[in-house]
Structure formats: C-alpha cells, structure tokens
C-alpha cells in the first residue's frame, strides 16, 4: 500500500532525510523510532504530500504523491502532532479563518464552526513544542510576521542579587533555511532576559537559550515555534454569521408553520 524509494530531503546544506526506502503492505502497522532530528516528521510530511521531496518517490496505493496528489490524499488519514501554520492563532482567529474557507466551498459546515465561534474566547491554540530544563523557562508570545514577538527567558532558581549574574546565550534558527537569524553569546543578565523580535516570514523557527551561572551546570531551554503570515479573516466571518442567523430564522419559520398546520388539521 505504501512504497517509498530513495526518498531524500535537503534544506540547503542540511540533509534531513537521506535515501530512505521501505514498503508497508495491507494490514501492516509501521512505527518510526529515532531521536529528535532523525527525520521522522519530515518523512511523514513527504509521505502525506505536505512537503515536496528533494529526491526519490512515494507511492500510496499505486498513486504517486507528487504527480497524483489528489488521488493519493483522498485515501490517506493523517493526524499530525500539531498544525504549525495555525499554532499561534487564537481559537476565534483559527475558526474564523476556517469558516471563511468553508463558506466558499461547503456552506453546510459553517453551522458547526460559527456555533463554536460564538462560544470561543481568546484562548490561544498553543501547539508550540518546547523542551525546557527544570531550572529555566523560555517563553515566546504569538508569532506573527511583521509584528513584534515577545521572547522571554528566566532562571527559575536564580538568587536576586546585583552581584549574581547569569551569562545567557540565545539563538533563533530558521529551520527550513537552516540559518541563524539572531544570536547573542554569553551576555550578562540578572537572571532574566526579554526582548521583542520580528520574524521575517511564515516558517518554523527553533529558539535555544543556554544560561550559565558560576559554579553551576549550564541550563539549556529550547522551543520550536511557527510564525504565521496570515491576517485575521474578519470579512470572511461576516457571511458565516449571516448564514448561521439565516438558518436559525428558517428553522423558526418552519417550526411555526408545522405547528400551525397540525393545529388546522386537529380543528378539521
């Protein structure tokens, strides 16, 4: 059912997947095991058509994932670990975006989406993956291209003293381009550091912070975030709300008409 031959993916000089080949037959279950950076997620993205391979081929039930993408995707069920494109949207922001897209193709789905919009608050859909040492915390605000994003690092067990300083190294890496877009090394901070950073394009970034205090082991914190280039689809939400209200009105009219018809029949 799944046939992968010589699959490879490169990001510039960085080789993420190298000459991978395997087959999965009907009824078989295959799991990927490996450390972070081994290429598991990249392989899944290529296998499902989310990412174009640099070389090799992927066949799903006889359909090539590149030349016959629509046929292949129709028979794939895929639950990703997260949705990187929308990870920094609020619930209302995300549902509004989807509502606008659904309205242009399948209006029936809007009833559920708009109902969720009415109940949704500004809670963030925070799907950012992170790996923090117990002694430090690295926090990143909503990442939107062209807007300042708060990057906040702090030592949890730091003694607040003017003479006690922490040496902080911080780097922001553009994962797709494998390029460091911001970096400072061993700057003295009073146990805490914050800055605003503007991301240049919608992509995934890795933030790595290393705090060093005299007489202690360096503490590393890491976080992967997705910068979104999308603006809230306010105009797209208007027809969705109108459609929802229209359905309610039609339902009320139909209910009253049906009740009136039953009353007339009983009188006859």
pLDDT of 115 strictly over 50:
no
* Boundary residue ending a domain (226, 241, 256): 226
Task: Give bridge partners of residue 211 from the DSSP assignment.
Answer: 168, 219
Residue 144 per-residue DSSP state: B
pLDDT recorded at residue 125:
44
User: Counting beta carbons within 10 angstroms of the beta carbon of residue 202, is it exposed (0 to 12), middle (13 to 18) or buried (19 or more)?
Assistant: middle
How does pLDDT run across 227-249, given as a tens digit for each residue?
886 554 555 556 666 766 777 77
52's tokens: 């174009």
What does the pLDDT average to over 145-150? 83
How does pLDDT run across 120-135, given as a tens digit for each residue?
444 444 444 455 556 7
72 & 90 share domain: no
93 & 51 share domain: no
Residues 6+ positions from 56 with CB-CB distance below 8 Å: 4, 5, 6, 7, 8, 19, 20, 21
pLDDT of 103 strictly over 50:
no
241 & 112 share domain: yes
Tokens 């000089």 found at: 13
Q: Rounded distance, CA 262 to CA 251, Å?
A: 17
177 & 97 share domain: no
Q: Which domain holds residue 210?
A: 129-226
CATH code where residue 22 lies: 3.40.50.300
Please count the structural domains in the chain.
Answer: 3
How does pLDDT run across 17-44, given as a tens digit for each residue?
999 999 998 878 888 888 888 888 889 8
Q: Rounded distance, CA 247 to CA 107, Å?
A: 11
46 & 98 share domain: no
91 & 66 share domain: no
206 & 258 share domain: no
- Which sign does the torsion angle of CA 254, 260, 263, 268 carry? negative
Angle at 223 between CA 222 and CA 224, to 5 degrees: 135
Number of residues assigned to the chain? 268
CA distances from 220 to 37, 129, 213, 215 (A): 17, 15, 12, 16
Q: Express as a percent the part of the chain with pLDDT over 70.
A: 67
95 & 140 share domain: no
Helix (H, G, I), strand (E, B) or coil at 124: strand
How does pLDDT run across 180-235, given as a tens digit for each residue?
888 888 888 888 889 888 887 788 899 999 988 877 788 888 999 988 865 545 55
Q: Rounded distance, CA 191 to CA 193, Å?
A: 7
113 & 240 share domain: yes
152 & 167 share domain: yes
220 & 187 share domain: yes
240 & 119 share domain: yes
pLDDT of 82 strictly over 50:
yes
Q: Rounded distance, CA 237 to CA 116, Å?
A: 12
pLDDT recorded at residue 186:
85
Residues 6+ positions from 265 with CB-CB distance below 8 Å: none
Whole-model pTM above 0.75?
no
Q: Rounded distance, CA 157 to CA 90, Å?
A: 31
* Boundary residue ending a domain (81, 115, 141): 81
Q: Rounded distance, CA 117 to CA 8, Å?
A: 41
């Amino acid at each position: 059912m799944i046939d992968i031959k010589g699959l490879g993916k490169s990001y510039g000089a960085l080789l993420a997947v190298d000459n991978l080949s395997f087959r999965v037959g009907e009824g078989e279950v295959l799991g990927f095991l490996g450390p972070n950076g081994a290429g598991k997620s990249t392989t899944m993205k290529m296998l499902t058509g989310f990412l174009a391979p640099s070389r090799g081929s992927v066949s799903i039930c006889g359909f090539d994932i590149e030349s016959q993408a629509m046929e292949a995707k129709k028979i794939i069920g895929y639950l990703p670990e997260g949705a990187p494109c929308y990870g920094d949207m609020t619930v209302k922001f995300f549902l509004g975006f989807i509502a606008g897209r659904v309205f242009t193709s399948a209006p029936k789905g809007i009833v559920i989406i708009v109902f969720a919009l009415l109940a949704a608050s500004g809670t963030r859909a925070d799907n950012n993956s992170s790996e923090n040492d117990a002694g430090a915390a690295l926090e990143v605000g909503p990442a939107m291209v062209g807007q300042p994003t708060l990057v906040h690092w702090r030592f949890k067990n730091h003694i607040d003293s003017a003479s006690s300083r922490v040496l902080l190294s911080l780097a922001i890496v553009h994962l797709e381009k494998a390029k460091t877009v911001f970096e400072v090394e061993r700057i003295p901070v009073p146990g805490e550091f914050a800055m605003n950073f503007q991301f240049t394009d919608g992509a995934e970034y890795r933030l790595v912070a290393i705090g060093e205090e005299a007489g202690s082991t360096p503490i590393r914190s890491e976080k992967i975030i997705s910068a979104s280039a999308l603006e809230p689809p306010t105009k797209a939400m208007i027809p969705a709300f109108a459609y929802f209200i229209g359905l309610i009105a039609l339902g009320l009219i139909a209910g009253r008409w049906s009740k009136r018809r039953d009353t007339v029949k009983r009188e006859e």
